[in-house]
Amino acid sequence: MKYLHLVWAALFRRKTRTFLTLVSIIAAFLLFGLLDAVRASFEQAGQSANGAQRLQVGAKLSFIQALPSSLEAQIAQVPGVKDVTFANWFGGAYQDPHNQVFSFAVAPNYLDLYPEISVSGAEKKAFLATRSGALVGERLAQKFHWKVGDRIPMQSTIFPDREGNKNWTFDIVGILHSTDKKSGGFFDQMFLLNWKYFDDTTPYNQGQVGWYVTRVTDVKRTDAVAKAIDALSANSDHETRSQTEQAATANWLKQLADIGLIVSSIMGAVFFTLLLLAGNTMMQAVRERTSELAVMKTIGFSDVSMLAMVLAESVLLLLLGGVVGLGLATLLVPAIGAGSGGMLNLPTVGASSWALGAGLMVLFGVIVGAVPAASAMRLNIVDALRR
């Protein structure tokens, strides 16, 4: 530690070179931070304590197939089921059919199963009391400049009303806030309407239910409960498939893209380049200081301390750049989320990213410094001074 000022001085001996190398390292770790946030957002989706308690019960045939509403009472009777609610996919779009909104027609008790969605008591009451009422997520409201009291038109890309008209009208009665920003960013984008209004208005639904959501009393027994629920409809024409919310989301995202593979291949390319680049800098730095190092050895610095100082220099270089890069990523990620108008929902660069990043910085620092440090250690004083 007492040599820190020496290491520091050596690092900034050539300011331009160190600065240029630092920018490259910053770029590499900025990218690492951003990509790791994306990977983490895929991994964490649906993984919450509340999500683990909930089972999604959908048609086994496919997720677009509806289920009879008679199942509700049967599911409620299954031992281990605390609550059951249901929803339908509404397929809403605002202004343009391609401007799709995550919209669900939900049962009155839907929000009771989602404690991580907060909505004021008065607004909840208004939703239940207003036939054409709608609750909208915070970010969705921001995106379209909606506020409570607005009466808005919404197209359903799936369900026309009895006259064949696809334009529905809703009164916004409340705003949904997600209390769990990490895994529940999606709730800020939701549009909820009353299932009764939906079912009464469109002739195409006829009392059917898109999927059921149940909450179990004991998280350890979810598998057994899922099996019991699926057994209710076995061999009928509406067999169900129950999954924890967590498993359902993970399955969905896995089909969307193999994010892990993409991220690791990009990072592989980035870090390989980085190693070469920083390695080159360290080689140059040690090569041009050969005579200085010889002098230091002459006045009594041991071989091991020479090795340690060069290694420390390269680790410090990587740490400086890496911390700034990851810091930038930490600042940028929320900005990107806001800038995309809620399209991208990235969690902030978390402790795990930082820990992994710090580990990589030290590791690369050691790899990069190894060869120059070894040559500094093995330096022959007489030869080096004569040069």
- Residues forming the site for another protein (CB under 8 A): 16-17, 20-21, 23-25, 27-28, 30-31, 34-35, 59-65, 91, 93, 97-98, 100, 155, 157-158, 160, 164, 166, 204, 234-237, 239, 241, 251-252, 255-257, 265-266, 269-270, 272-274, 276-277, 280-281, 283-284
Residue in the structure block whose two tokens are 């050691």: 366
For the record, the structure tokens of 172 come out as 């916004």
| Beta carbons within 10 angstroms of residue 237's beta carbon | 8
For the record, the structure tokens of 233 come out as 């409809």
For the record, the structure tokens of 61 come out as 């045939």
CB of 80 to another protein, least distance (A): 20
Backbone dihedral angles phi then psi of residue 154, each to the nearest 5 degrees: -145, 135
- Rounded to 5°, the CA angle 242-248-251 comes to 130
3-state secondary structure of 114: coil
Give dist(CA 367, CA 291) in Å, integer: 24
Select 123 or 239, whichever has its Cβ closest to another protein. Answer: 239
Select 33 or 133, whichever has its Cβ closest to another protein. Answer: 33
CB of 15 to another protein, least distance (A): 11
CB of 313 to another protein, least distance (A): 16
For the record, the structure tokens of 150 come out as 């607005």
Beta strands, E only, 128-210: 133-137, 151-156, 167-178, 190-194
Residues, the chain? 387
CB of 358 to another protein, least distance (A): 19
Select 100 or 380, whichever has its Cβ closest to another protein. Answer: 100
Residue 57 amino acid letter = V
For the record, the structure tokens of 340 come out as 């995309």
Select 158 or 320, whichever has its Cβ closest to another protein. Answer: 158
CB of 61 to another protein, least distance (A): 4
CB of 316 to another protein, least distance (A): 18
CB of 236 to another protein, least distance (A): 7
Q: 13, exposed or middle or buried, with CB in 10 Å at 0-12, 13-18, 19+?
A: middle
For the record, the structure tokens of 176 come out as 């949904």
Give dist(CA 321, CA 336) in Å, integer: 22
